[in-house]
A and B are shown apart, each in its own frame.
Chain A
Amino acid sequence: MAVCVAVIGKDNSPLYIGGVGNDTSTDNELSRQWLVHTALDALEERLATTNSNNTATNTNTSRTDLRDLYLGLLYSTDTHKIYGYVTNTRIKLVLVTSSTSPSGSNIRDAEVRTALRRLHALYADAICNPFHLPGEQITSQKFDKQVKNIMLNNV
């Protein structure tokens, strides 16, 4: 279903970018990174508006916590659709589907939501590793394998 999945830290640095594609050449990796990086614009804008709305309506902090972590479709290009998910610790999860492939174009919102939730769980598992440094890139092979599974499972 997905062609690319990215985990981005709260300082907007990439923690993990994984993609399945026909080739893993530099060009492909580059376009994938551009795509995820520019998705941050939409993510940040979305977060900024939710926050300002919350302060504007003068609700307490619990309201912020109640915010749905899944942000839905951030934007779509001619070739890709980009979905976002932000954890409470401001870790951003991005999922990219291809609108050209039949499986990617017909994807339902609920499927993406489930996939991102599972990715969140995997991320939480990965950083529980005491040998992982918070803020560093996730190099765990297990994590990589599991994430690739999520991406492929739904193909």
Chain B
Amino acid sequence: MATQPSDYTEFPPEIILKPLALVGLSGLDAINNAVHKEIWDAFSNNRRADRTPVRFKLLNNTFEFPVVKPKRNSYEWYIPKGILKKNWIHKRVTLIPAVVVIFYDMDWNDPQWNEKIIECASKVQSIRAAVEGHATRVAVVVIQSRLSPPPSEYMLGAERAQALCAACEIQSKSLFVLPHSDHLMGYIVRLENAFYDIAQNYYHHETKNVKQHRDHLNKTTHQYLFVRHQFKLGYLNELKQDMSTAHKHYMHAYNNLLETRTVDTNIHEVRTVAGYINYKLCKLLFALNLPRDAIAQLKSHVERYKNRIGSTELLFEHYAWIARQYSAFGELFDEAIRAGLPGIQSQHPGFYYQHAAQFTVKRRQAMRSVCNEALQYPPPPDPMDGIVEFYGQRPWRPGRLSADPHDPQKEQAAILALQYNERIFNHSAMIISFLGCAISQFKTFHSPRMRKQLVVEMANEYYYSADYGKALTLLTHMLWDYRREKWWFLASHVLNRALQCAYLSAKIQDYLQLSIEALSKHIQVPNNDKDRIFRNIMSVLNMNIPGPEPDLPAASQGKALELWQFAIEKEPLNIVLDMVNITSFMEVKPKFKQQKYRMDEIIEIEVYVRLTYAAHLEVKKSHLTISSHTEAIEIPIIDNANSFTLEGGKVKRFLCQFKCNPQDSGSDLHIKNVSFILDSDRRRKIIMNFKMDDNKTSESTIHPELLHFIISPKADFEFDCIVPLTVASIISRECKLSFSVSNASPALQGEWFPTQFSITNNEASTIYDMKIVLSLLGSPDNPNPESVTELSFTEGEPQAQPLKLVVANIDPSASYTNQFYLKTNRTATTTIQIKVSYVINLPEISKLECIKDFTTKITVIKPFEVSTNFVSMNFKPITKCFVDDPFVVMPQIKILSPWDLLIVDTDLEVLECFTFSDDAKPPSCISNLEVSEKNIASDAICIQAKFKPKDNPTRVGLYNITWRRKSNLRGHCVMSSTALSGLPIDECPIAVEVNYPEVIEQLTSVPLKCSLIGKSTTPVRLSLSVEGTDAYMFSGYKKIMVTIPPKDKLELCYNIHPLVAGNTTPPRLKATVVGDSSMQEVISEMFDKKFPQNIFVMPKYNK
């Protein structure tokens, strides 16, 4: 990873590289040949993890394979010079391909087939010759550009392929055909897999080779070879992508290495190789998804090598090595997490980076203790010159295994060289880099506090490397969090370091802010010397250079002084400090004396200031910032004079008074800020702002009730118990107007109801610009009143709501009277709001606007209720009517109004299926009728049905009543309409008319004419009979069959002669329909209705 710092302990790239089978591609001219280039690109580009684990190398004609070492037959006299050769891996991954693939352009039906096959075979031969000695496999790919050959040439292809195999001396499964067509990528992927198979086969063969050596080895002299061979097996298996076998062999290698005897001369080599093998082991364990085993492996690895320190003169190398083990593991862990391994708070890469940083710190300590004498690089010859064949060996004694130093002088020079290099090494940069990695990990894994601690360590490291600006930035950020959580001890630690940084970098703003915070009672400063810090603040204020902080690095002091000399006279001259965010030596509590102020009151704010640091602090100027919705104003805090002195440990109380702005009525005032300005007339000012946050005060953890237990001096105004009050609302001043209403409530539904109101000015002076606004207020039982209710100042003319009225001025104790009208269709209580606003000039405030709301409630009731009766012409109630048969509608008006009413007129609007029985519309029977409560006025209108509509009408018509209050003589009349209930209409094929008198005299004959009128288009045949009674004699047909012609009438004449006086039943005609019996029922009904049940017979007096 690029983020990892580099030094000599860094792992070589070939160790870190993921082993992939190497496949050499020969015969591709990727520069000049477009087809070849396309093929090469398809192989080499876009090699993602999901593709075959193969690395391709383009072999040009001049490529040379490494020379094969002669096979050793016996290891008896062989003593290895080191553990792992540096170039072995390199050879495996770049120089010795597992497979060499020869590409050749040739079609099966090529005209020059014979020449081509010879050329191809020679190419194969030359490659064979080049790889001589290696077991590298050879394969041939024939690139065919033509389209697939016709079926007739299949045989030809097979033959020629066989011929080619024979010519090239390759097996037929090592010959491939690559048609260059649309599906190149698909062919490439299949070729890749084929090559990979061959490669695996090759590596398998190689591992067998290595295993063969093992039998020749013995433990006494060949311990290194045990390690080397197992490492090689591990690596070859990795190339083969056989992870678990690879892990097994690496583990053997690791254990064999542990068994080697370590002395000062080989310790560096042993632990270097151990580190590499451990890295491979951990990487494989992560790849095998065994993270716990990986962690355990690292822990035991570090544990095993922790005490193999080697030469104490090179102790730093040991720590550097441990740091590298940790950081490399951190990287592996991080990669695994990115590949999907879940990390947890207690186990993530951050810890390993942190360890790496810690061991780098130890490395620096070791360097400080052992490298003091290494002041300069040893004179030539440079002991570091020299080529090392094995990992971890010293250039000045390569390949030497004996424990005693071979050349003591050279050894000394070499150690000096190493020490010198270590001395000039930038440890801080490395520690900072490790910490940076750790910080980001701790941040990811929910450990904000651990992260903070590491950031502070990082800042310390910047401090040691004299990068004070960066250190200061980090520290000031961290200070914030420690302050917030009240870890004052840690905050003090951070703050003191930050103060040193601010001093050393001469940053006036930060220096003052930190100094002021250092004076807080919570912060501990070195030697408890707060006076020094206070003096420093005053020095800066007076444009003098402050005294240095204690324990500064001597090297930086001179530079700091220069910086101060340069900076002290310059900007920033006005230093603004936000005091709320820091803990400081001043506490401020502003407080409105009341929560609400009326417009005409003077607003008073008390400001309590406590200086906790024991000194006298002279404040030149001080002010409060108050904001309202319109503006922000500054109110000076004054104590006799503009400037005042605060005394340490005491509380001072200030009272600020001001008048509010007339526009602020109804809004809130906020104390936004309290500022104290320190100034010594030397151009520099320190402005201390205490910003008041409305939210902050509410969450304060002050428990005033508990604070009373604490003995605090009364002179403190019990400062701790004061709860700041930073918001006060401004309410309009009390309004001295009176209001009265007179009306004849309740109002009646639908009428224009007049209400008289009067407003009297009880103020001491004239009021101006009085405006009245009338509006309707909704209520639960009367929502949206404006939709059904009209308001107006003139009767009968609705006006837009709300009604506005401008009244000019009203003198003191005068009054203003007006009247408004209300008309509503809803019987509920209507609420009317009357908003009066005006301007008044008061002695304190001129042009003060006052507003007052009045409300009045008006109950609305129904004036009357209308019900309907239907009766026949003889005033008998009916439930249905017949077409062309007149009947009487009787609307009854029940008066509910408590007020006497005058019914001016009534009117019935009938539906189209009805008509008035009279020729003209009759005048109302109850016009100009005076009624009072509980009276019932009955009307009667004679109508008849014209035809039978499809559906029975739901109502007969609309009944309109025009009325007004009796008391209201000239006012508008109100017209109320009511729908009258419906009556079913029926049809009868005949109509009957009989002229029965109501009253007849005894013993007097009365002629009765009975007309039967045909209504239908067909004749109706009836059998009539007379139902006689004892009370009458009669003459005429008692029983007769008649046929009633259509649209014509038939008359029957009878005489009746009453015999007895009193209520009698006259003879009645009964009809029976002959034929169509469906009409029987209607006709019987009709006859029943027409012939009276009763006739009153007057007795006859004999005079």
Contact = CB atoms under 8 A, between A and B. Distances in A.
Contact of B453 (A13, A38, A75, A135): A38
Given A37-B490, A41-B447, A133 B453 contact: no
Interface in B481-515: 485-487, 489-490, 493
A37 B487 contact: yes
Interface residues of B, number: 20
Contact of B345 (A11, A12, A37, A42): A42
Contact of A41 (B450, B706, B710): B450
Given A11-B486, A37-B490, A75-B346, 11 more contacts: A11-B701, A13-B485, A17-B489, A33-B489, A34-B490, A37-B487, A41-B446, A42-B447, A130-B709, A131-B710, A133-B706
A30 B488 CA distance: 11
Interface string B417-455: 000000000000000000000000000001111100100
Interface in B318-376: 345-346
B707 interface: yes
Nearest to A49: B345
Q: Which has the most chain B C-beta neighbours within 10 Å: A33, A40, A41?
A: A41
B91 interface: no
A82 to B, nearest CB: 11
A13 B486 contact: yes
Given A30-B493, A45-B345, A131-B709, A12 B447 contact: no
Nearest to B347: A75
B447 A38 contact: yes
A40 B449 contact: yes
A29 interface: yes
30 contacts: A11-B485, A11-B486, A11-B701, A13-B485, A13-B487, A30-B490, A33-B487, A33-B489, A33-B490, A34-B453, A34-B490, A37-B449, A37-B453, A37-B487, A38-B447, A38-B449, A38-B450, A40-B449, A41-B345, A41-B448, A41-B449, A42-B345, A44-B446, A45-B345, A45-B446, A45-B447, A75-B346, A131-B710, A133-B706, A134-B703
Contacts of B703: 133-134
- Which 10 residue pairs of A and B lie closest in terms of their CB atoms, listed nearest first? A13-B486, A41-B447, A38-B450, A12-B485, A41-B449, A38-B449, A45-B345, A75-B346, A135-B701, A33-B489
Contacts of A134: 703, 706
Interface in B686-701: 701
Interface of A: 11-14, 17, 29-30, 33-34, 37-38, 40-42, 44-45, 75, 130-131, 133-135
Main secondary structure of the interface of B (DSSP, over half): loop
Nearest to A32: B489
Nearest to A13: B486
B346 A42 contact: yes
A15 to B, nearest CB: 9
Contacts of A75: 346
B453 A29 contact: no
B362 to A, nearest CB: 13
Contacts of B493: 30
Contacts of A133: 703, 706-707, 710
Contacts of B707: 133
B495 to A, nearest CB: 13
A4 B678 CA distance: 44
A45 B701 CA distance: 25
Nearest to B344: A45
Nearest to A12: B485
Interface string B1054-1094: 00000000000000000000000000000000000000000
Contacts of A30: 489-490, 493
A13 B453 CA distance: 16
Interface in B662-719: 701, 703, 706-707, 709-710
Nearest to B711: A131
A131 B493 CA distance: 30
Interface string B453-465: 1000000000000
A75 B348 CA distance: 13
A12 B493 CA distance: 18
Nearest to B354: A77
Contacts of B447: 38, 41-42, 45
